[in-house]
Structure 1
Amino acid sequence: MNNQQTTPPNRGASGVAGHMAKSTDPMALWASNAVTQLLDGQDNPPKYGSTAWRRLPGDDPRRAAAIIGAAELWRRFGDEQELMSWFRDVSRQREPLASRRTLAELDAFARQPATPVQAAPGWPPVRIPGQPGWHRHLVDGQQIDFPDNARENCA
């Protein structure tokens, strides 16, 4: 997996252009060059859509640099909620491998006979595996099988 895609965006001192410049991806290099040219030595732009960004004049190049930076971060990392969800998932506590079932235990479970299909009170009839068109019904406390075209026989 590309290390650039598994690390969060760097919003530190290197800023938007600095983060994009670390890549060998042609799109990231283009974005980094565009942001560098737009900023031309100015401070890093405020985050796209923030109050500070909205206060910039319409022709301020920092507005465009912030838009390019946000688009590049979106392209590489997805939306912020998705990224935070990914961080929560990869950092959650996992079940230790030693406590999981072994292959021998799983094989033993697979050799056990299957539980027979049973219809339950208050539930619709159950399809019977291996017998297409047949359903198991619960009629007067007994499990009875009927073909699809004989549904009127069970009340």
Structure 2
Amino acid sequence: MSSPSQQDSPRPLVGRGPALKAVPDNATAGQMTHLRACAQATALLGSDDTWPTYGTLPWLQLNPQDPRVYVATLEAAELHRMAEERRYDDAREQAIATRQAAADARVARKGAARIRPPHTLTATPGWPPIQIPGRPGEYLTYQGNE
């Protein structure tokens, strides 16, 4: 529960911007978050207003009840979220490239290992028949005159 001093504060209620009406069906969570941040900033200031960058001297000099304080903080949070999203996307792309390079190296090693011609099967006296690979039911047997 909030204290009486917080209830009497003239500061606008955070997150009370207009509801999002047009969100694309295939929008990601990040895109919806961005749309919501833009809607909140527009609801608090209007589309033509400007605000100082978060953490700068002009931002620090604003009255804490000034909605530009919240909008600048919201902008900084959104920029951080987008930078993290890009960082994760870059890491995922790098991981995929690394896996592909490892797979290509395995294929190259496997191809280089098969320099010799295939082994010729020869039946030997006293040994059981040899099943011929790729020919089910066919066996190579020793005939005695080989």
Higher-RCO chain (CA-CA 8 Å, sequence separation at least 6): 2
Q: By percentage of residues, which structure has more strand? A: 1
> Which has more radius of gyration?
2
